[in-house]
Amino acid sequence: MAEVITERISRYVLDGDDDDLRRLLRIAQVTSQEARTAFDRVGIREGWRAIDCGCGPIGALAEMADMVGPSGRAVGVDFNEPALERARAVVEALGLENVELVAGDIYQIDPTSLGDRFDLAFTRCFLMHQPDPVRALGQITTFVRPGGWVVAHEPLPTPPPRSYPHLAALASYWEIVHETMELGGASPQAVESLARSAPVVGLDVVRTGGFFTTLAPRLGFDLHAATLAAVRERAIKMGIPPTRIDNVAQDLRAAREGGYEWVSTPFFLGLEFRKP
């Protein structure tokens, strides 16, 4: 089933004409196995209820839906209604019948409105954007039953993505992304502080790890160039010079044409918490 879902996502990416949708689906695709591995490690099984907080157009909903089976439920929450509209189209295209999508801010959703508490909550590239990531983690914890799990896969500002041979533009690009987030209100060291702060919100830290995923050069550089394009307008509004952004984008696009053996994703911190 996992291979079928991966094939469907690939086809959906290729058929779409929305650049940012393709970018977000690619992120979900290239980090899919890491999500599955983490869910396996916490003991996910058929019949579980799982929630993806900040799911965007797919998040880890495909993996969750597959692993909890027809008797389980995967719920995706996102405050961005256009993102949820895209998610509905993707879920329908993938044939995920045990997925429910909810539009709303995690701070404003009453956990009881979602039914029984969840066995598993997941975030990917969500807490990194929060002004108060510990508060956000605490709110997510309210969705989870006692004995349930929270899994967070959040990219760190350092180390930046890598390539072989080395391309300096990757570090410059990743610096622009994080500078833009911080100028927009994201907390510095938002991700690094999560494990230390987890007990404050009632979570036990079970595992702290991390991962890069290596990609074929064209795919990897395309993904990074698309991410930079996605933040460009906001970065300029925050005062980052357009020439700085565009010079880095040009280097990333040029790198797609050859001379590189691989390029990596950012380094994701992988955290697994349990609610006592």
For residues 129 and 5, which has the higher predicted lDDT (pLDDT)? Answer: 129
Would you say residue 153 has pLDDT above 50? yes
What is the per-residue pLDDT across 227-237, written as a single tens digit (0 to 9) for each?
A: 999 999 999 99
Q: How far is CA 101 from CA 73, 98, 154, 213, 245, in A?
A: 11, 10, 22, 28, 35
Question: Contact at 8 Å (CB) between 39 and 120?
Answer: yes
Q: Is the peptide bond before 131 cis (omega within 30 degrees of 0)?
A: no
* Burial of residue 142 (number of CB atoms within 10 Å: 0-12, 13-18, 19+): middle
Would you say residue 19 has pLDDT above 80? no
Q: How far apart are CA 143 and CA 115, in angstroms?
A: 10
Question: Contact at 8 Å (CB) between 61 and 99?
Answer: yes
Over residues 126-137, mean pLDDT = 91
**Percentage, residues of the chain above pLDDT 70:** 93
pLDDT of residue 28: 84
CB atoms within 10 A of CB 76: 30
For residues 11 and 203, which has the higher predicted lDDT (pLDDT)? Answer: 203
Would you say residue 53 has pLDDT above 50? yes
Give the pLDDT band of residue 29 (cuts 50, 70, 90).
confident
Give the pLDDT band of residue 10 (cuts 50, 70, 90).
very low
What is the per-residue pLDDT across 90-114, written as a single tens digit (0 to 9) for each?
A: 888 888 999 999 999 999 998 888 9
> Topology of domain 2-157+186-214+265-274, per CATH?
Rossmann fold (3.40.50)
Over residues 10-31, mean pLDDT = 66
What is the per-residue pLDDT across 221-274, written as a single tens digit (0 to 9) for each?
A: 999 999 999 999 999 999 999 999 999 999 999 999 889 999 999 999 999 999
Give the pLDDT band of residue 57 (cuts 50, 70, 90).
confident
φ/ψ bin of 54: left (φ > 0), alpha (ψ from -120 to 50), beta (otherwise): left
Q: Which structure tokens are listed for 192?
A: 């690094």
pLDDT of residue 169: 98
Would you say residue 20 has pLDDT above 80? no
Q: What residues have CB less than 8 Å from 192, skipping those under 6 apart?
A: 156, 269
Ranges of each domain in the chain: 2-157+186-214+265-274
Would you say residue 44 has pLDDT above 80? yes
Q: Which of 83, 118, 128 is nearest to 101 (CA)?
A: 83
Over residues 205-216, mean pLDDT = 96
Q: What residues have CB less than 8 Å from 221, skipping those under 6 apart?
A: 252, 253, 255, 256, 260, 263
